[in-house]
């Protein structure tokens, strides 16, 4: 059997089990530097870079206010 020591102290070295493989960290993936600009950067012509859509020119805000006297907690439309 094995002998267990309650407090082995600083001198106690751990003998690894040879049947258990040693765990190592996988090598870090190195991604090549890309030529894409940073997200949110501007090109000076008013366009902003989005990583999904590319260069996007922001437009004017289109907003309208709804005017209703109805109850906001009521269902609108058919659920069918």
Predicted TM-score (pTM) of the model is 0.37
Q: What is the pLDDT of residues 28-65, one digit of tens each?
A: 777 666 788 888 888 888 899 998 998 899 888 888 87
Name the phi and psi angles at 76, rounded to 5: -120, 125
* CA dist 79 → 32, 71, 75 (Å): 51, 18, 9
Percentage of the chain lying above the pLDDT 70 cut: 81
How far apart are the C-alpha atoms of 42 and 56, rounded to whole Å?
A: 10
Quick one: pLDDT at residue 32? 66
């Amino acid at each position: 059997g094995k002998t267990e020591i309650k407090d082995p102290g600083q001198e106690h070295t751990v003998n690894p089990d040879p049947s258990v493989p040693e765990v190592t960290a996988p090598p870090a993936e190195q991604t090549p530097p890309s030529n894409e600009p940073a997200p949110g950067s501007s090109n000076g012509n008013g366009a902003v870079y989005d990583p999904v859509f590319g260069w996007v020119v922001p437009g004017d805000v289109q907003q309208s206010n709804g005017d209703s006297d109805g109850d906001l907690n009521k269902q609108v439309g058919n659920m069918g």
